[in-house]
Structure 1
């Protein structure tokens, strides 16, 4: 679906920087005339308001941007060969003389557990020269793995600005903290934001990989933000290793208790560092994390789930047991961790499917994603995801489509329900159902998809003034 031919893949140094800092600035060889012409097309497209998800058909030249070997190479390196260009597209028009607030983007209006592993990424494209005075996007390096804003609102010292000549591209981890800066010139400033999703778990490096092992890298991040164990685990995960934290079993009971206490630290980087260290500390570490999963403080439970998500198969029985908890947050955190274990957590699928009958909507939103990541036993997973396509909650339905994308042809039994979903009231249920049919890819799926696409074909040049 995304050919590696002629792609300019990232090298090891660039991948290490993406893992630690959460972003890369990319340079293409488009001419200045290309960007100027595209900016004029944007001016025309925005005449009637922001085109939103119709940005690509409104400005077809944009597809050349996302077919460029530097862009496809960067995305393939981070998200694998069969990554998906998500249906949500947004062009930011900034003329505000005041900087925007720091934020993480939501997943189309609902909260979910955010992955430390790079399942999602964004490309931000600036088609015009964007000096500091024009209000470029600001990125806070190394913050992609923190739910809390760990820096003051007015912090600017560490901020990286996506400032430069026309054609500046920022490839960022979806969950990084960022903001719009003040446009002091009052001129038009466009930033086109496109989202991309990994559809396959990594089985081997998809970048220009020369060095097998993770090695410490130079980073300007403050020592308190450095997460060497987490970074090494992410590198290993991207090379195809599952449960990839090196086991350094801690026999010292005092150290285990120290780490258990540190998970309760209010400073999130400290708590996460402790969780990842416990994850590689053998059975005693896993048992400690399972205990903290049930901690009365929901934030502590969430931090523990990140360690459990990378701690290997020894944690799975305890995580399955945690699905019986009466507290929704504990169930959510357990289901999230089980999903990250993929096929190793197949024993959890019957319980996850049973939970779909009575779980809260927030639990079901996590379960639907976890089923698509576990993937096996295939028949039971597909049965559960078909049920999710019929859910009353919009977000469960559109997440079901994304999860089915990860199953490919093994999800063919879902095609009749996906055909129904193509008529859903929600735009993302429809879009994700179409994507699922594309990734399933059987003759039946393609016939349904082609009929839908022809019936809903949209003409970018049709306007009230030019109807035919």
Structure 2
């Protein structure tokens, strides 16, 4: 493997990712590379324990994995060329003869409103041959956008498996339902889990795109439900078209009434189909979605926000007005939708900034994330960007850990235009929380001014990690 140019995904692979929420891919390292890595993993886990977030510096060969052009190409295709590696990394060891429970990951112990558009992704890398009997990760296709568990049985026809030769990896939408399957062989099974984040909304396709028009993949294998409008919206968003569903259907009172009822369906897949269909119907559809946003049920309110995020510029003023709502969840959901609208929601930056003193940490965190998504939009005017940066500087000192973390990520998304935040980010490097510190460093890297680089390099030298130093080898040789 000598070519370092990212090997980007094809249209068909991207269609599959949009619908099923994952891909199983393979690197081409020699057998000896994976044998040596697996041996080193086993030695470290046996003698030192799980290195946790220090996995990458502890076993340096792993960096070669994430520099492989098949992996960089897959991540670039899904998350754009400037994606970020999250500070949380974990090597999972599985020797259990029983399957783990179905779940979707939290945000390292925190919660947030989950994105349907691919802002976050995860790679699960298997450094040893992993047949089904060794307990690979099981993945339920098409469930990446379901907040609730929509299936009853643990054993489901259509379950996907990250199974294959050494070097097999699953690229998954961060929010897909998955589990560890049973290891019937009793041999060690390692899986390296790394998380990645998008730092900018797409302005054009970042994969090998030859066909801009959405169509379903040739071989869709979905055990759950179909979501044509949601898939179309996601595909179009990935090609740089925000709010593309808006106005694609002629207003029809009977149809809108029907969809409004389905928006309140207890079956989440049905409600999701309704919210994206309503986004097609212009101001009439927006009105129905706004009723849903203010519904007494927070589940209906949350689902409605996805439709409003797909409804385009006409939804912005109404979402901005919803920021005044007395219910915290309504405000949080409105802020989320405004962030998804990116540069179209620039007029809401001032009002969003004023909410950084809101009583609810969940609202403040959502506002911070939205300000980063809006402030990072390429078409945003400088006064609006400066307003967002000023607000995010304040958020770095918030009492809530997740809000502080999101502030660092948001400033990373704004990049060089957030240069005014460098002194505040430097102070944040002493934060008590590891992820706040880590993403303050990332913000400095993405800002990239000389001042930011000086602070970054000084901090990294202070935190230098020696991969040779262990309890058994503290200083020599």
TM-score range, shorter chain: over 0.9
CA distance in 1, matches of 2:232, 2:238: 10
Quickly say closer, same or farther: Cα 1:203–1:194, change in 2 above 3 A. same
CA contact 1:57–1:460 (8 Å) conserved in 2: yes
Residues 164-215 of structure 1, C-alpha deviations (whole Å, 9 max, x = no match) = 1111111111111000011122111101000010101111111011112112
2:435 matched to 1:436? no
Residues 394-426 of structure 1, C-alpha deviations (whole Å, 9 max, x = no match) = 111111101110011110111011001111111
Q: How does 1:72-87 map to 2 (within 5 A)?
A: 72-87=72-87
2:428 matched to 1:421? yes
In the other structure, the counterpart of 1:7 is: 6
Alpha-carbon offset, residue 223 of structure 1:
8.0
In the other structure, the counterpart of 2:312 is: 312
After TM superposition, the structure 1 stretch with the greater mean CA deviation from structure 2, 379-388 or 355-364, is: 355-364
Alpha-carbon offset, residue 135 of structure 1:
0.8
Residues 234-291 of structure 1, C-alpha deviations (whole Å, 9 max, x = no match) = 1111111121115233332111100000001111111010100000111100111011
CA contact 2:157–2:223 (8 Å) conserved in 1: no
In the other structure, the counterpart of 1:176 is: 176
2:294 matched to 1:294? yes
Q: Which runs of 5+ in 2 are unaligned?
A: none
CA distance in 2, matches of 1:446, 1:374: 25
CA contact 2:158–2:222 (8 Å) conserved in 1: no
Alpha-carbon offset, residue 222 of structure 1:
4.6
Q: Which runs of 5+ in 1 are unaligned?
A: none
Alpha-carbon offset, residue 111 of structure 1:
1.2
Alpha-carbon offset, residue 318 of structure 1:
0.9
CA distance in 2, matches of 1:222, 1:53: 34
CA distance in 2, matches of 1:194, 1:34: 19
Quickly say closer, same or farther: Cα 1:5–1:26, change in 2 above 3 A. same
2:248 matched to 1:241? no
Q: How does 1:204-219 map to 2 (within 5 A)?
A: 204-219=204-219
In the other structure, the counterpart of 1:63 is: 63
Residues 356-384 of structure 1, C-alpha deviations (whole Å, 9 max, x = no match) = 11331111111110110010511110111
CA contact 1:200–1:406 (8 Å) conserved in 2: yes
In the other structure, the counterpart of 2:41 is: 42
CA distance in 1, matches of 2:118, 2:83: 11
In the other structure, the counterpart of 1:158 is: 158
Alpha-carbon offset, residue 219 of structure 1:
4.1
- Aligned residues: CA RMSD: 1.3
Q: How does 1:392-403 map to 2 (within 5 A)?
A: 392-403=399-410
In the other structure, the counterpart of 1:88 is: 88
Report the 3-state secondary structure (helix = DSSP H, G, I; strand = E; otherwise coil) of the residue aligned with 1:210: coil
Alpha-carbon offset, residue 447 of structure 1:
0.3
* Equivalent residues, number: 465
In the other structure, the counterpart of 1:148 is: 148
Q: How does 1:222-233 map to 2 (within 5 A)?
A: 222=222, 225-233=225-233
CA distance in 1, matches of 2:107, 2:397: 20
CA distance in 1, matches of 2:368, 2:360: 12
Alpha-carbon offset, residue 5 of structure 1:
5.8
Residues 24-45 of structure 1, C-alpha deviations (whole Å, 9 max, x = no match) = 1112211111111000110122
CA distance in 2, matches of 1:197, 1:138: 22
CA contact 1:101–1:153 (8 Å) conserved in 2: no
CA distance in 2, matches of 1:275, 1:287: 12
In the other structure, the counterpart of 1:460 is: 467
CA distance in 2, matches of 1:427, 1:245: 40
